[in-house]
Amino acid sequence: MDSKVILITGASSGIGKSTSVLLLKKGHTVYSAARRTEKMEDLKREGAHIIKLDVTSEESASAAIRQILDEQGHIDVLVNNAGFGQYGAIENVSTDDAQKQFDVNVFGLARLCRLVLPEMRKQKSGRIINVGSMAGHFCEPHGGWYHSSKHAVAGLSGCLRQEVRKFGIKVIQIEPGEIRSEWSGIAMQNLCESSAGTVYSKGAEKQSRLYAFGEKHLATGPEAVAKKIAAAATCRRPRLVYRTGFGCVGLSLASALLPRRWFDAIFIRLFT
């Protein structure tokens, strides 16, 4: 197997960190990037190149890509994993917070795609792996900005895949279900803070309790997603979409087969 130069964003924890470890073990040159580099000393000891990267900053993103090209001469794989969950009722989440959700989950992802594409075109090969979510295929109360950002990632990835295939560049989507990580706790903290003292507070408390139960008893470890990303990065003919994690099959079937009223009724009953 040829060693590849791979950039992974959001690598300070969860899926990004697990993916970095797995690809390092497979002998690849891994650049692990995140805003919180102090949490990545263990990756550095494993052999990862650590980059401080804020995906919402053009200057930061450009500097990261320049560093990799200066040191390695090329980039084979970009894993767009950075993201977070801005949960809260549409009425309660400020426009600034909603824009921050899209700046990280969508525009930051697109920014890095734009930066690596010219180099991948020159080498007539490359892979862009966008970590979306099953949330890009259904809706739930209090998750409007997060879900809409993941719907956008799915649409952007599909369009980009069609645009760049003729250049030898593959675009792959990863769509996890419920994964054990910091994500759930941060999302539910955002939800409870934005809902406090409002008409949505009781629903927010119910949703937070259910998410905590899922995180503790049902969620799949991030290593399962790392295996899918590694396959997408290295196999000869990768799938267009990889799904893994608790609930991904059930939610996919339910959203496709159930009447919309029924699907809505389930989530309204659970979370409001």
Which domain covers residue 122, as residue numbers?
Answer: 5-271
Determine which helix (DSSP H) or strand (DSSP E) holds 79, and give its type and residue range: strand 77-80
- Tell whether the model's pLDDT for residue 193 goes beyond 70: yes
Helix (H, G, I), strand (E, B) or coil at 138: coil
- Tell whether the model's pLDDT for residue 252 goes beyond 80: no
Residue 261 class from Cβ within 10 Å (0-12 exposed, 13-18 middle, 19+ buried)? Answer: exposed
What is the number of domains present in the chain? 1
- Tell whether the model's pLDDT for residue 20 goes beyond 90: yes
Helix (H, G, I), strand (E, B) or coil at 218: coil
Q: How far is CA 256 from the centre of its chain?
A: 22
What's the confidence (pLDDT) of residue 218?
Answer: 81
| pLDDT > 90 in the chain, percent | 82
| Other CB atoms within 10 A of residue 97 CB | 14
**At 230, which amino acid appears?**
A
What's the confidence (pLDDT) of residue 187?
Answer: 87
* Contact call for residues 159 and 228 (beta carbons, < 8 A): no
| Other CB atoms within 10 A of residue 214 CB | 16
- Tell whether the model's pLDDT for residue 197 goes beyond 80: yes
**Residue 31 is a catalytic residue:** no
CATH code: domain of residue 110: 3.40.50.720
What's the confidence (pLDDT) of residue 1?
Answer: 58
User: Which one of the listed residues 31, 87, 146, 242 is annotated catalytic?
Assistant: 146
Sheet holding 29-34, edge to edge: 49-52, 29-34, 5-8, 77-80, 126-131, 169-176, 241-244
